[in-house]
């Protein structure tokens, strides 16, 4: 067999069968039974499609409006409310045992698999073996593969039924294998952890994971807020302040009412810049990001949970006319900022916290609204053409 693309674990390129042999040995050393390791890996196939999906980087980044509107829409809200009532007894039990309110559990379920409508169709052992045999993230996916074999070993799922995403996320709530091993629980009392076929297992596991991440049952995820005119957007830099401190700066709830006098700290998030909605994010916002490291995702979960619980739409919906920036656009922004003395780090085409901080500093020094968002004014000033 030809050598694997990007795979070279010794002096010579490694073939897929050679890699499988090495992985089998590592799995057995990690405690996987020799029978499971041998039988499952003997059936594992190299999936070129998985490598292509791993390499495929979207040319354009999605805008917050597009991201939120696709994930929190009327159909999903309606279905979420119906499922909340249909599974109320189960969800209330999860809440009692983990502290995570039912609307959040349903919101995660909705975002991860559209309420169980689609788990992914890729054979997880083959997907993970393919990625483990690829040099780019070999160690991470080797760990995931060994965890998947341990899940099979414990009898939670038959290997031929272990299907999921191309990267190995599985079941109703799309747990990676290592997350499954650490946080999945038997919610229906049948003696196994089945996130594919048992909703009690899936919901209890989701609640257990969030509890383990530090969910605070006394508070919500955050809330939409209104900011006063001439607000200093440099405060949207991740700093945490008490609600009283935000209130003293003129921040109100989304309807113009005073913020509650509660002993909790929050950070300000403006995902679409000063023209879009603003949110005060509480500690549970960080817990949601422990599930998925994306502010967009965390806001979508929180807002969907609010809607499922009966709340209305955002008072200030995100503007839909903001451009979707390509990776090349972001690279150009990063390079231009670096050239101007505003350090973004090594340009990588990703709009991360360093880039937003650099944009905020550039805006502040040039008399612009320092919201850290690369809007038209920033693009024009930096001479970045879309």
Strands 241-242 and 222-226: unpaired
Question: 336-352 burial string, b = 16+ CB within 10 Å, else e?
Answer: bbeeeebebeebebebe
Task: Write down the pLDDT at residue 56.
Answer: 84
Alpha carbons 6 and 146: distance in angstroms, whole number: 21
Helical (H) or strand (E) element with 20: helix 16-29
The predicted pLDDT at position 4 comes to 65
d(C-alpha 54, C-alpha 37), whole Å: 25
Q: 362: which 2 tokens?
A: 């550039």
Q: Looking at the DSSP assignment, which residues form a beta bridge with residue 270?
A: none
Q: How much of the chain is in helix, strand and coil states, percent to nearest 5?
A: 50, 5, 45
Count other C-beta atoms under 10 Å from residue 14's C-beta.
Answer: 19
Return the pLDDT at 386. Answer: 84
- Give the right CATH number for 1-60+120-169 from 3.40.1710.10, 1.10.8.350, 1.20.200.10, 3.40.50.10380: 1.10.8.350
DSSP state of 167: T
Give the pLDDT score at 12. 52
pLDDT for the residue 10: 43
Q: What is the dihedral of CA 349, 350, 351, 354, to 10 degrees?
A: -100
- The pLDDT averaged over each successive group of 10 residues in the chain (386 residues) is 52 82 98 98 97 85 94 98 98 98 98 97 98 96 98 96 97 98 98 97 98 96 97 95 97 96 94 96 98 96 98 97 92 96 95 93 95 93 91
Report yes or no: 130 and 241 within 8 Å, Cβ to Cβ: no
Contact (CB, 8 A) for 211 and 290: no
Indicate left, alpha or beta for 174 from its phi (over 0: left) and psi (-120 to 50: alpha): left
Per-residue b or e along 105-143, where b marks 16 or more CB atoms closer than 10 Å to that residue's CB: bbbbbbbbbebbeebbebbbbbbbbbbbbbeeebeebbb
Q: Do domains 1-60+120-169 and 61-119+215-322 have the same CATH topology?
A: no
DSSP per-residue string spanning 310-364: T----SSPPPS-SPPPBHHHHHHHHHHHHHTT----S--S---HHHHHHHHHHHH
For residue 221 the two structure tokens come to 């995820």
Torsion of CA 220, 222, 227, 231, to 10 degrees: 130
Q: Decide: 384 and 351 in contact? Cβ < 8 Å.
A: no
Q: Six-digit token pair at 361?
A: 């500093």
Domain boundaries of the chain, sorted by first residue: 1-60+120-169, 61-119+215-322, 327-381
Q: Are 319 and 272 in contact (CB under 8 A)?
A: yes
Domain 61-119+215-322: give its CATH code: 1.10.530.10
């Amino acid at each position: 067999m030809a050598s694997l693309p990007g795979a070279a674990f010794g002096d010579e390129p490694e073939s897929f069968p050679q890699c499988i042999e090495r992985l089998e040995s590592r799995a057995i050393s990690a405690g996987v039974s020799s029978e499971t390791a041998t039988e499952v890996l003997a059936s594992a196939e190299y999936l070129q499609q998985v490598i292509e999906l791993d390499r495929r980087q979207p040319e354009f980044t999605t805008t917050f409006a597009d991201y939120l509107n696709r994930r929190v829409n009327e159909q999903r809200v309606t279905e979420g409310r119906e499922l909340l009532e249909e599974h109320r007894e189960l969800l209330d039990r999860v809440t009692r045992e983990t502290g995570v309110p039912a609307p959040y559990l349903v919101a995660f379920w909705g975002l991860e698999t559209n309420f169980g409508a689609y788990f992914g169709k890729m054979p997880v052992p083959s997907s993970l073996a393919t990625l483990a045999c690829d040099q780019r993230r070999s160690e991470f996916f080797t760990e995931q593969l060994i965890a998947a074999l341990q899940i099979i070993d414990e009898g939670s799922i038959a290997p031929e039924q272990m299907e999921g995403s191309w990267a190995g996320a599985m079941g109703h709530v799309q747990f990676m294998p290592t997350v499954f091993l650490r946080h999945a629980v038997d919610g229906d009392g049948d003696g196994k952890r089945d996130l594919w076929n048992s909703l009690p297992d899936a919901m209890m596991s989701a609640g257990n994971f969030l509890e383990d991440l530090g969910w605070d049952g006394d508070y919500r995820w955050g809330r939409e807020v209104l900011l006063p005119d001439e607000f200093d957007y440099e405060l949207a830099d991740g700093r945490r302040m008490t609600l009283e401190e935000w209130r003293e700066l003129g921040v109100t709830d989304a309807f113009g009412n005073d913020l509650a006098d509660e002993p909790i700290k929050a950070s300000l998030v403006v995902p679409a810049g000063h023209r879009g909605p603003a949110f005060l994010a509480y500690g549970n916002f960080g817990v949601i990001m422990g599930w998925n490291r994306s502010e967009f995702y965390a806001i979508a979960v929180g807002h969907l949970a609010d809607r499922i619980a009966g709340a209305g739409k955002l008072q200030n919906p995100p503007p839909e006319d903001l451009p979707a920036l390509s990776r090349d656009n972001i690279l150009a922004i990063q390079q231009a900022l670096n050239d101007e003395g505003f350090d973004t780090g090594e340009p990588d085409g990703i709009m991360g916290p360093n880039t937003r901080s650099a944009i905020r500093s550039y805006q502040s020094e040039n008399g612009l609204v320092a919201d850290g968002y690369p809007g038209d004014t920033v693009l024009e000033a930096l001479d970045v053409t879309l």
